[in-house]
């Protein structure tokens, strides 16, 4: 499968085919074209420029280009772009669908565009390339008529890549000659000879991620396929009703949502901008995947002998789990220490936990025992929500699947072991630690927790995590650890291991 390349700025010198072998530079236009196209030296068209396409498609293009050009995250840049463009309702939903859908299917779209263009997508000028991706997504994955998708994309290319309209028209007309399944059948390796390659092209995931999912699912390729399909479906927004401030039933009534399937605090939001909800603005609820709620609840559900007053969140940013733990701590007479090494994320934690018995420390969680505010052997409950690849939330952050590489694993897993070891050291005898990652990769889950337990220098036992989750949850495996899945539970793929210091 062709890996997606960066987006970029319009530049001078394009031929009518939409690019050259150099793949584009970063200068943002020439003297003849700046005034006409509204380019500037920072890259991309001015937002004040008047695009030749409708606003939803223009905003989607700007968001996709920002992801590729600036390494931006769609969930951060798109809301601001929608507000600036004055898009609401169906127009905002269409722009959002084009943005996230294009990013989710990027690998397969690039493979198809390579075939349709007769050249690798890397040789297409970046602005034209991103426009073609959005056009191909409309043709293959939406109900937009092919002629409308082609026409609107050609208009977009005319705005961002003057001189490439004929090329764009020809490429997209070729894309429209087959549907998505037919293209996959033509371009994907055969399932019987290269199942990982077949799934990677068909369902638009890098091969190494498909392989890691299959391994975590015990080699079941049928279930791996269901997971990949679920990764490409837009997930619902999950809210967390903060205990003591509002319950899930009342929150569901207030926002027009539905109570969650498993977490007692979860509410499924049908749509809209959750940040505009009064319950969120007033701190009675926050946005949080139901899986994240479940693993935090599992920590406070574990039985303890002795005191239960000092809790620790060792990797607290940006504060979702700290907010839930702080709300529960307030009800149970406990106090939470939330640790975050990055100052800007520590400020987010402080904001998320305002009004709860929470102390926020801006420090490295690995300093347990060396920092007087992080004493060794004194905490009753510890959460280690470790930094990870985030492979469990690809449906929410689709650009991550193209940015992460296998080479990211060694430094991450070393950090995970160090943080979990510090969390174990922070426990008093009899205390419990929950190790959590938003990744099902076995190196980040079973290997990390097993190695940390072996090397930590204090005796620990695994606690069966399954009874700490709501009764009746399907597909929790044989224990003692738990792996949640989008296709089984409707949550992000959260991993949970619970250990007790003996």
Assess whether 489 and 449 both reside in one domain. Answer: yes
Assess whether 225 and 265 both reside in one domain. Answer: no
Q: Which of 126, 153, 68 is nearest to 398 (CA)?
A: 68
Question: What pLDDT is recorded for position 52?
Answer: 64
Q: What is the mean pLDDT of the chain?
A: 90
Average the pLDDT over each of 270-279, 305-314, 352-361 and give the range with the smallest value: 270-279
Q: Which of 286, 276, 254 is nearest to 353 (CA)?
A: 286
- Specify the pTM: 0.88
Question: What pLDDT is recorded for position 35?
Answer: 33
Is residue 181, in this structure, part of any structural domain at all?
Answer: no
User: What is the distance between the alpha carbons of residues 476 and 488, in angstroms, rounded to a whole number?
Assistant: 9
Q: Write out the catalytic residue numbers.
A: 438
- Torsion, Cα 110 112 113 114, to 10 degrees, reads 80
Query: pLDDT per residue over 363-383, tens digit each?
Result: 999 999 999 999 999 999 999
Assess whether 101 and 150 both reside in one domain. Answer: yes
Is residue 187, in this structure, part of any structural domain at all?
Answer: no
Query: pLDDT per residue over 1-40, tens digit each?
Result: 444 444 443 333 333 333 333 333 333 333 233 333 333 3
List the domain range (segments joined by +) for residue 199: 194-231
Assess whether 123 and 204 both reside in one domain. Answer: no
pLDDT band (50, 70, 90) for residue 140: very high
Is residue 18, in this structure, part of any structural domain at all?
Answer: no
User: What is the distance between the alpha carbons of residues 69 and 7, in angstroms, rounded to a whole number?
Assistant: 5
- Give the domain CATH number at 242: 3.30.70
Assess whether 352 and 271 both reside in one domain. Answer: no
Half-sphere CA count of 148, side-chain side, radius 13 A: 7
- Give the domain CATH number at 65: 1.10.940.10
339 secondary structure, DSSP code: E
User: What is the distance between the alpha carbons of residues 11 and 367, in angstroms, rounded to a whole number?
Assistant: 49
121 secondary structure, DSSP code: G
Rg (CA), the chain: 24
The answer to whether the CB of 381 falls within 8 A of the CB of 302 is yes
pLDDT band (50, 70, 90) for residue 169: very high
Assess whether 198 and 281 both reside in one domain. Answer: no
- Give the domain CATH number at 421: 3.40.50.150
Can you name the residues that pair with 436 across neighbouring β-strands?
385, 496
Assess whether 126 and 214 both reside in one domain. Answer: no
Report the Cα 372 to chain-centroid distance in Å: 35
Assess whether 214 and 107 both reside in one domain. Answer: no
Assess whether 116 and 201 both reside in one domain. Answer: no
The answer to whether the CB of 104 falls within 8 A of the CB of 91 is no
Assess whether 216 and 358 both reside in one domain. Answer: no
Q: Quick check: bond before 126 cis, omega within 30?
A: no
Is residue 188, in this structure, part of any structural domain at all?
Answer: no
Q: 378: how many CB neighbours lie within 10 A of its CB? A: 14
Is residue 69, in this structure, part of any structural domain at all?
Answer: yes
User: What is the distance between the alpha carbons of residues 332 and 383, in angstroms, rounded to a whole number?
Assistant: 17
- State phi, psi for 278 to the nearest 5 degrees: -55, -35
Q: What angle (nearest 5°) sits at the alpha carbon of residue 228, between those of residues 222 and 234?
A: 135
Q: What single string gives the DSSP state of each residue in 242-311?
A: PTTT--HHHHHHHHT-EE-SS-TTEEEE-SS-GGGSHHHHTTSEEE--HHHHHHHHHHHHS--SS---EE
How many residues would you count in the chain? 502
Helix, strand, coil fractions of the chain, as percent rounded to 5: 50, 10, 40
Assess whether 219 and 255 both reside in one domain. Answer: no
Query: pLDDT per residue over 410-430, tens digit each?
Result: 999 999 999 999 999 999 999
Is residue 7, in this structure, part of any structural domain at all?
Answer: no
Is residue 403, in this structure, part of any structural domain at all?
Answer: yes
Domain limit, last residue, from 213, 231, 249? 231
Q: How many structural domains comprise the chain?
A: 4
Assess whether 267 and 319 both reside in one domain. Answer: no
Question: What pLDDT is recorded for position 45?
Answer: 43
């Amino acid at each position: 499968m062709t890996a997606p390349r960066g987006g970029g700025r319009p530049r001078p010198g394009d031929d009518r085919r939409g690019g050259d072998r150099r793949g584009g530079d970063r200068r943002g236009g020439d003297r003849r074209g700046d005034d006409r196209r509204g380019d500037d030296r920072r890259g991309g068209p001015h937002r004040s420029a008047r695009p030749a396409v409708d606003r939803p498609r223009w905003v989607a293009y700007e968001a996709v280009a920002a992801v590729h050009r600036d390494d931006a995250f769609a969930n951060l840049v798109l809301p601001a772009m929608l507000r600036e463009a004055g898009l609401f309702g169906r127009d905002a939903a269409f722009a959002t669908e084009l943005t996230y859908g294009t990013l989710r299917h990027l690998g397969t779209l690039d493979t198809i565009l390579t075939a349709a263009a007769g050249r690798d997508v890397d040789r297409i000028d970046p602005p034209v390339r991103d426009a073609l991706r959005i056009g191909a997504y409309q043709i293959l994955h939406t109900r937009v008529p092919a002629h409308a998708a082609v026409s609107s994309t050609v208009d977009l290319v005319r705005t961002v890549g003057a001189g490439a309209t004929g090329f764009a028209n020809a490429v997209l007309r070729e894309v429209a000659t087959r549907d998505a399944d037919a293209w996959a059948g033509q371009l994907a390796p055969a399932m019987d000879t290269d199942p990982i390659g077949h799934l990677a092209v068909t369902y638009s995931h890098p091969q190494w991620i498909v392989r890691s999912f299959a391994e975590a699912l015990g080699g079941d390729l049928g279930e791996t396929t269901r997971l990949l399909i679920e990764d490409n479906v837009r997930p619902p927004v999950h809210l967390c009703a903060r205990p003591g401030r509002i319950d899930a039933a009342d929150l569901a009534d207030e926002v027009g949502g539905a109570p969650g399937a498993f977490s007692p605090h979860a509410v499924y939001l049908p749509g809209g901008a959750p940040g505009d909800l009064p319950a969120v603005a007033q701190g009675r609820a926050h946005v949080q995947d139901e899986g994240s709620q479940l693993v935090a609840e599992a920590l406070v559900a574990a039985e303890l002998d002795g005191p239960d007053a000092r809790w620790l969140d060792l990797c607290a940013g940006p504060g979702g789990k700290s907010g839930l733990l702080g709300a529960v701590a307030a009800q149970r007479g406990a106090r939470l220490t939330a640790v975050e090494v990055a100052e800007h994320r520590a400020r987010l934690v402080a904001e998320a936990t305002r009004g709860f018995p929470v102390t926020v420390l801006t420090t490295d969680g690995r300093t347990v025992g060396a920092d007087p505010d992080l004493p060794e052997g004194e905490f009753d409950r510890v959460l280690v929500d470790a930094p990870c690849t985030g492979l469990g939330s690809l449906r929410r952050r689709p650009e991550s699947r193209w940015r992460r590489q296998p080479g990211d694993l060694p430094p991450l897993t070393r950090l995970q072991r160090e943080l979990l070891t510090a969390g174990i050291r922070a426990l008093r005898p009899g205390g419990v630690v929950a190790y959590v990652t938003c990744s099902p990769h076995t190196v980040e889950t079973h290997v990390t927790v097993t190695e940390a337990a072996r090397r930590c220098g204090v005796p620990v036992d695994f606690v069966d995590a399954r009874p700490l989750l709501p009764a009746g949850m399907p597909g929790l495996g044989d224990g003692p650890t738990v792996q949640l899945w989008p296709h089984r539970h409707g949550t992000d793929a959260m991993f949970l291991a619970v250990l007790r210091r003996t």
